[in-house]
Amino acid sequence: MGDFERSHSCDAISANLIDHEVVLAGWVQRRRDHGGVIFVDLRDRTGVIQVVFRPDASSKAHARAGALRSEFVLAVRGVIKHRSEETINLDIPNGDIEVVAADLALLNTASPPPFAIEDDPGVDESVRLQHRIHDLRRGPLQKNLSLRHRLTKAIRDTLCENEFTEIETPILTKSTPEGARDFLVPARQQPGEFYALPQSPQLMKQLLMIAGFERYFQIARCFRDEDQRADRQLEFTQVDLEMSFVKVENILKLLEEITWKGCLEAKGVELQRPFPRISYQDSMDRFGNDRPDTRIQLELTDLTEVFSKSDFRAFRGAVEAGGIVKCLPIHNADEISRGEIDRLEGFVKKELNARGLGWIRVAADGSWQSPIVKFLSENDKENISRITSASPGSLLIFQADTNARVNSILSRLRVDLGRRLRRVEPRDWDPLFVLDFPLFEEDEDQKLTYMHMPFVAPVEEDISLLETDPKAVRATHYDVVLNGYELGSGSLRNHRGDLQRKILGLLGYETEEMEQKFGFFLRSLETGAPPHGGFAFGLDRFAMVLAGTDNLRDVIAFPKTQRGQDLLLEAPSEIPFTLLDDLAIRVAKRKRN
RNA sequence: GGGGCGGUAGUUCAAUUGGUUAGAGCACUGGCCUGUCACGCCAGAAGUUGCGGGUUCGAAUCCCGUCCGCCCCGCCA
């Protein structure tokens, strides 16, 4: 920096400092060389301000400024001046003032940037990822990562105020039999054996409760080797927390405080409290998923009953096969053209594995236009009308299939069409708790499986149902949902070994397998485990929702591509044979190039 | 694993559908310019058309394979 000592950031320069000498440092956002006078927009992390180099102010600085190029790094000593009336630029902040340069230090040159460092660089995302350094210089990413920092801090502060202890857990850990595919790390000293990276610190935090810490949290990196999505990365960050001697209500109160504080501190948003609550069943019935955006003013209706007695074979067949029939009614839907319905059908068939798309349009004269109306009796039509509140202008969209598929297809259409038709409440934020999840669900072979994970405790009054009707047993599980995104989930855990064994038994584990996979953990419970429960926020996703983007890569400094590569570091990469040899590893199949 | 869209100069796009030397804006380089703020004007450089193979007199264009980016399904909480 030589003799230059930065005195101000760009955003600190205002008309209050007229005639003050300042020293600024940053990057050349843009240079406008008029020969006699040179303008440089100087950018630092706080903003941009115009620096003017005039020969009459400093011929030396002016001469040096001629060599400046985009992204050169510099320090400038100068005096803040009002601009003359006719040169004021009202389109930019600080457009009424400028820095008249007295001295210039070139701190570094820069290769030409691959794209303009602007809010909208207009380039393909792969280019941005390859040149992530330049990408990160852009305003939106600087803002997003700063938001993420404030969010993390707000959460950490809130947990600290609530007497949580931050404890780290291992990154090199043990492969778990359940859940997602593990990332594996070869163990050099045990040839042929592998550590696994944690999918979450779930077991560890329960052990910490058993060990008596009572309140634990961790900003934990987690790893799941599954295919990615816009809102799913291979490695991601959880705000993981667990507490002892609590009921569900205690945890929900804390989660509400954390979520509320996070939104306030990171984004200046004051969420309405208390958060609305909705049961899993209610959510599935009305919205078709367990993370509804309730601002969207469309709701599903159930017509399983009607079609179970109907002569419409296609739909009745779905019901007889154990499925359901639901409808997404859209009233005043004249703007959806016939062609659009066909496109919707193509979309759900191709992208969502739908068998088809049933629809009925109620014309202005009350008549029904539909490919399926000829299969419907007057009685059917009356019932459909009543349940869906159909009236002239209504478009009814049907799905008849398995429960899971009907709901996933219609919930997707609900969101897509609700947004497209602007059937959205004008609130910006929609937080809620989803409660009363079932403890178990059936997999495709009608086998009982856990819904979230095998350690979730049942609701106390449902414990007797474990014997008689396990599918009806409610879990102590809860989700926090914001704007249709699941921010995280948690539950009370089984702290008694006998109950945990019973549940594992219902999940189909024989004694021997149970012992082999969970013996260590079951014995841990039997050392005096306190009642405990917790939660894990998906921090990346929380930041993403607050940043108003729909892509995690916008809130992660160095994200992976959909194929799991880091285009900047070019990871993963091949490893020399000698290294592999140390690890007792031989590669069976190499990617062809 | 599957489906869809895409890959041409640093970058964003074009190339009359198989036909001469693959063009343009921005960026870049050089020159001129004392009030711009997406400065302007003049000139210039810049290409393994993702990669490999094939068809053809001739391929950015057609065919096969492959790699890469994004979105989705499966998968994953």
User: Would you state the pLDDT for residue A78?
Assistant: 96
Continuous segment of H or E residues that includes residue A249: helix A248-267
Distance CA A303, CA A122 (A): 47
Kindly report the backbone phi and psi dihedral angles of residue A538, in degrees, each rounded to the nearest multiple of 5, phi listed first: -80, 100
Stretch A445-466: mean pLDDT? 91
Distance CA A179, CA A203 (A): 13
- Asked if strand B contacts A118 at the CB level, meaning under 7 A, the answer is no
Stretch A428-438: mean pLDDT? 96
Question: For residue A429, what pLDDT band results from cuts at 50, 70 and 90?
Answer: very high
User: Is A575 a residue whose pLDDT tops 90?
Assistant: no
User: Is A409 a residue whose pLDDT tops 80?
Assistant: yes
- Asked if strand B contacts A589 at the CB level, meaning under 7 A, the answer is no
- Asked if strand B contacts A591 at the CB level, meaning under 7 A, the answer is yes
Helix (H, G, I), strand (E, B) or coil at A492: strand
Kindly report the backbone phi and psi dihedral angles of residue A296, in degrees, each rounded to the nearest multiple of 5, phi listed first: -80, 120
Question: For residue A21, what pLDDT band results from cuts at 50, 70 and 90?
Answer: very high
Q: Which of A176, A168, A173 is nearest to A453 (CA)?
A: A176
pLDDT, tens digit, 9 for 90 and up, residues A222-281: 999 999 999 999 999 999 999 999 999 999 999 999 999 999 999 999 999 999 999 999
Stretch A41-67: mean pLDDT? 95
- Asked if strand B contacts A235 at the CB level, meaning under 7 A, the answer is no
Q: Which two tokens stand for residue A56?
A: 């009459």
Stretch A326-332: mean pLDDT? 95
- Sign of the dihedral defined by the CA atoms of residues A375, A378, A384, A389, in that order: positive
Angle at the Cα of A455 from the Cα atoms of A451 and A461, rounded to 5 degrees: 80
Spatial distance from the CA of A111 to the C1' of B25 (Å):
22
User: Would you state the pLDDT for residue A591?
Assistant: 53
Task: Report the C-alpha dihedral over residues A171, A178, A201, A486, rounded to 10 degrees.
Answer: 120
Question: For residue A592, what pLDDT band results from cuts at 50, 70 and 90?
Answer: very low
Give the nucleotide with minimal C1' distance to the Cα of A179.
Answer: B76
Question: For residue A589, what pLDDT band results from cuts at 50, 70 and 90?
Answer: low
Look-up: residue for tokens 């004051």?
A270
Q: Which two tokens stand for residue A586?
A: 């031989």
Distance CA A34, CA A405 (A): 65
Q: Which two tokens stand for residue A379?
A: 């009685």
pTM of the model: 0.94
Continuous segment of H or E residues that includes residue A535: strand A532-538
Protein residue closest to B37, using CA and C1': A89
Distance CA A427, CA A213 (A): 40
User: Is A590 a residue whose pLDDT tops 70?
Assistant: no
- Asked if strand B contacts A82 at the CB level, meaning under 7 A, the answer is no
Spatial distance from the CA of A314 to the C1' of B60 (Å):
49
User: Is A430 a residue whose pLDDT tops 70?
Assistant: yes
Q: Which nucleotides of B are covered by protein (CB under 7 A)?
A: 1-4, 10-13, 26-29, 32-40, 66-77
pLDDT, tens digit, 9 for 90 and up, residues A78-109: 999 999 999 999 988 899 999 999 999 999 99
Q: Please name the residues in contact with A24: beta carbons below 8 A apart, sequence gap of 6 or more.
A: A6, A7, A8, A9, A10, A13, A42, A44, A49, A51, A75, A76, A78, A99
Q: What percent of chain A has pLDDT over 90?
A: 81
- Asked if strand B contacts A168 at the CB level, meaning under 7 A, the answer is no
Stretch A545-549: mean pLDDT? 95
- Asked if strand B contacts A374 at the CB level, meaning under 7 A, the answer is no
Q: Which two tokens stand for residue A532?
A: 């405990």
User: Would you state the pLDDT for residue A549?
Assistant: 93
Buried-exposed string A289-301: b where 16+ CB fall within 10 A, e elsewhere: bbbbbbbbebebb
Q: Please name the residues in contact with A18: beta carbons below 8 A apart, sequence gap of 6 or more.
A: A80, A81, A82, A97
Spatial distance from the CA of A554 to the C1' of B68 (Å):
21
Give the nucleotide with minimal C1' distance to the Cα of A536.
Answer: B77
Q: What percent of chain A has pLDDT over 70?
A: 99
Region of A163 please: left (phi>0), alpha (psi -120 to 50) or beta: left
482-501 of chain A touching strand B, CB 7 A cut-off: 489
Helix (H, G, I), strand (E, B) or coil at A288: coil
Given strand A215-223, what is the order of strands in its sheet? A165-166, A215-223, A235-244, A532-538, A485-492, A478-482, A431-435, A277-279
Q: Which of A469, A475, A530, A521 is nearest to A500 (CA)?
A: A521
Question: For residue A122, what pLDDT band results from cuts at 50, 70 and 90?
Answer: confident
Stretch A551-560: mean pLDDT? 95
- Determine how many CB atoms are found less than 10 A away from the CB of residue A33: 13
Kindly report the backbone phi and psi dihedral angles of residue A100, in degrees, each rounded to the nearest multiple of 5, phi listed first: -90, 115
423-452 of chain A touching strand B, CB 7 A cut-off: 451-452
Secondary structure letter of residue A519 according to DSSP: H
Arithmetic mean of pLDDT over chain A: 93
Stretch A428-449: mean pLDDT? 89
Give the nucleotide with minimal C1' distance to the Cα of A125.
Answer: B69
